[in-house]
């Protein structure tokens, strides 16, 4: 999916919501555990109930890898279901990969070719040759960690390097990489005050923003500093939507939570 296609979908749905499909078998409705594939059954119900309210889904691969080959099969079925039934939806493999060049190439093939995701998250610590292999795929995006919402983010990301915070150096440096127009960035919602500084460096790039909802991030604050001319935001909510309830109406309740965010986004876009 191209950036322009994503922007068009955002405008059509009046939403820049991304729903995280982080499936924990201990948290899904008990009646689904009787299914042949409980993870896929859960995802399918959530997707069918919420696809008109969001523009993207983001499975965190750890929640699938934890269940071995069956988990990977559930992930494959989920992405195939999305690509077949809702091809307009933007898909993100939240895998946080990043290794030496030939290894990164294989990671990129796994997620962008074999599983056919639209994008994959990567860690930039190993530098240019660990990220550029992901950027080589046409009409695919690489979403690079920039400033995360966890407590440990302050261990490195905000430390000064030559008088400038490290995350700013990462942003600035990445702009010079080959096919950098295919880059997006992860910026945590709990650090809304940083968005103004980030937009000075990457004014038009899309930002994937986790942390709204269960992690305490505020949508209004993020949009105040983070919206760009082309919208430029994908706001992710996972637990706050998919685990809205554990009864048999879980998908309907998830849709209600998603609609609350979508309506707030529609109001913001109308201003």
- What amino acid positions are annotated as catalytic residues? 96
Do the Cβ atoms of 61 and 71 come closer than 8 Å?
Answer: no
β-strand partners of 255: none
Q: Which of 130, 136, 128, 133 is nearest to 100 (CA)?
A: 130
Alpha-carbon radius of gyration of the chain: 18
Q: Which helix (H) or strand (E) holds 211?
A: none
Coil, strand or helix at 21: coil
Q: Which helix (H) or strand (E) holds 33?
A: none
Do the Cβ atoms of 134 and 112 come closer than 8 Å?
Answer: yes
Q: Which of 143, 173, 169 is nearest to 158 (CA)?
A: 169
Do the Cβ atoms of 164 and 135 come closer than 8 Å?
Answer: no
User: Where are the strands (E) in the chain, listed by range?
Assistant: 17-20, 56-58, 90-97, 119-122, 141-147, 160-161, 164-165, 183-187, 207-209, 233-237
């Amino acid at each position: 999916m191209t950036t322009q296609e994503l922007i068009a979908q955002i405008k059509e749905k009046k939403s820049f919501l991304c729903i995280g499909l982080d499936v924990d078998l201990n948290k899904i409705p008990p009646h689904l555990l009787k299914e042949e594939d409980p993870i896929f059954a859960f995802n399918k119900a959530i997707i069918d109930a919420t696809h008109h309210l969001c523009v993207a889904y983001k499975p965190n691969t750890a929640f699938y890898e934890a269940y071995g080959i069956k988990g990977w099969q559930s992930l494959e079925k989920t992405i195939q279901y999305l690509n077949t039934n809702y091809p307009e939806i933007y898909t993100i493999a939240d895998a946080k990969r990043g290794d030496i060049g030939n290894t990164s190439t294989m990671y990129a093939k796994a997620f962008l070719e074999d599983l056919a995701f639209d994008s994959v998250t990567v860690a930039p610590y190993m530098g240019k040759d660990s990220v550029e292999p992901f950027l080589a795929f046409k009409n695919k995006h690489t979403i690079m960690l920039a400033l995360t919402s966890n407590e440990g983010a302050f261990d490195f990301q905000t430390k000064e390097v030559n008088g400038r915070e490290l995350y700013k150096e990462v942003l600035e440096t990445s702009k010079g990489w080959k096919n950098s127009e295919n880059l997006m960035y992860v910026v945590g919602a709990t650090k809304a005050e940083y968005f103004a500084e980030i937009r000075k460096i990457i004014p038009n790039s899309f930002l994937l923003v986790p942390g709204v909802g269960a992690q305490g991030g505020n949508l209004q604050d993020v949009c105040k500093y983070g919206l760009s001319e082309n919208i430029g935001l994908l706001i992710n909510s996972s637990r706050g939507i998919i685990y809205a309830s554990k009864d048999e109406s879980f998908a309907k309740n998830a849709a209600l939570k998603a609609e609350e965010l979508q309506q707030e986004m529609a109001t913001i876009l109308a201003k």
